Structure 1
Amino acid sequence: MNKSKGVVLLLVCLAAYIQAQDYWTLPRCRRCHRVTSFEQCENYVVCDRNEACFVDELITESGIAVFEAGCRAIEVCKASGKKRKRGDLVACSKCCDGDDYCNDRLCGLKKESNLTLCNSCDGRDGRPQPPQYPEDCAYLRQCAPTEACFASTYMYDATSLRHYSTCRSKKICDNLMKYIFETYQTKALGKRNAGTICAVCCGDEQCNKYACETTKKRIRYLNLQERFNHTTLTEIPWSAT
């Protein structure tokens, strides 16, 4: 009986592991409904295996161009140009797959500014509350020119964590990152106490979408490779020479 329970538990754990691995191989697409600009497209969604990212540019009866984006069945992607409900005309309908957020650049839906997009699940101004798992934060926000992406992990209760993400002042981030580089050392979390157990800033697009410790280790690695810009908090691309 105990052996049977052990086998069942093993199978459940194996299934959960496979599901988690599968999750990260699924396409992620920007998602929005009837917006007029890229900046209003604040969410993204994880698609199924039989889906691709899409963007529709629609012309309303009043002549206004609006965009819809998200996941669409690959079979449906093969058909385009059909009239939509409410009398909208389809000016453009395209699908893509491969890279995450590949629909960022379809049908004229593109970023108009140089402001950094960051994951933002901070529970403020109607944004989602910090989730238990960082991949469950599907809300994006453009930071101000004086801000960078920020991520932290804190104890929610005795047995679970919460992953907080937002935009934060570059002045605060500069001080935080200076402290991290002066004191950083890889070690286990050990006994968990209440409060924040990790905090980090970064300047690349959506660089705060991973767990805080993962982001911190990545930045530490880039720094050792002399590929981290301490002024912009961004990754320095490999040199062609």
Structure 2
Amino acid sequence: MHTCTRLVIGVAFFLIGVFAQIPLADQLKCRLCNNALELRDCTKQAICDNRTEECYMDQVLTETFNTVYRGGCQSRDRCKGGTPVLIGKREELIGKREELIGCSQCCSNDDDCNRRLCGIRPDYTNVTQCYFCDSSKSDQASVSKPSDCITLTTCDTDQVCYAHNEYHPGSAMTFKYGCQNKYMCKVLMRNVFEFMSRCAGSSSAECQHDSVNCDVCCGDGGCNYDDCKQIKARHYNLWVLGKLNNDTLQVIP
């Protein structure tokens, strides 16, 4: 038997053995991304153990200053059951180089749930499309959780994507998505970034009383999916790293 044939058979039996150890009810399918530029580059799935793992997606600034995405399965302990969004460093063993993590998020609510984490561009949108869920305008009304928004719209050339969290005393938060004037968004995001920069590490009264409501804009296709505060934190990290165009509000490749 040829060496290559034995290798293929060995790998097949190994994979069968791994999957057989995970009961079907506990299997979680996660999008597998390795230095992907957008979701269309993530062509494979990983089978994870939902009892101990979650799907994850990292937005990474490489040593060559490219923004890429890595995703798959990750232990629940590492995820800590949350969706942290912060700047951090990851040291690679090869070459001892450091990479900056602009966003790291986890999920386990559904198969392929990490396809919409950390702002990775969906493979079915173009640069002028945004999520669109607004009770006053859209076919789909505002939603009670971001994953419920599945409607897209094509914005005008002078618009970018927009997201809004609205707090209702005594009831659940609602999330609105759509398009907004590009000039107004540039002013909004300049003020947002200045506030976040001023309040980084500060315990002042102004910083401690940030509004529970939230407004945010971004310029890439489908970039307005998520909780508004998560989108804001993610784009602030990119702005700090010099990876966000202040005029277009688009991620710099």
Q: Which of 127, 130, 136 is the equivalent residue of 1:124? A: 136
CA-CA distance at 1:157 after TM superposition = 3.6
Identity %: 26
TM superposition score normalised by structure 1: 0.50
CA distance in 2, matches of 1:230, 1:191: 26
CA-CA distance at 1:121 after TM superposition = 0.3
CA distance in 1, matches of 2:210, 2:190: 24
CA deviation vs aligned residue, 1:1-20 (integer Å, no higher than 9, x gap): xxxxxxxxxxxxx99x9795
Q: Which of 223, 226, 229 is the equivalent residue of 1:213? A: 229
Q: Which of 109, 126, 148 is the equivalent residue of 2:160? A: 148
Change (3 A) 1:18 1:126: same
2:131–2:153 contact (8 Å) kept in structure 1: yes
In structure 2, runs of 5+ residues without a counterpart are: 1-49, 56-106
Matched, 1:203 2:219: yes
Runs of 4+ off more than 3 Å? 17-20, 99-102, 185-193
- Residues 133-212 of structure 1 aligned to structure 2 (within 5 Å): 133-184=145-196, 185=199, 197-212=213-228
Which amino acid is the alignment partner of residue 230 of structure 1?
N
SS of structure 2 residue aligned to 1:138: coil
Change (3 A) 1:115 1:124: farther
RMSD: 3.5
Structure 1 residue aligned with 2:110? 23
1:117–1:206 contact (8 Å) kept in structure 2: yes
CA distance in 2, matches of 1:171, 1:192: 24
In structure 1, runs of 5+ residues without a counterpart are: 1-13, 29-98, 105-110
SS of structure 1 residue aligned to 2:108: helix
- Residues 14-93 of structure 1 aligned to structure 2 (within 5 Å): 21-23=108-110, 25-26=112-113
Structure 1 residue aligned with 2:239? 223
CA deviation vs aligned residue, 1:67-107 (integer Å, no higher than 9, x gap): xxxxxxxxxxxxxxxxxxxxxxxxxxxxxxxx9855x4xxx
Structure 2 residue aligned with 1:234? 250
CA distance in 2, matches of 1:186, 1:24: 35
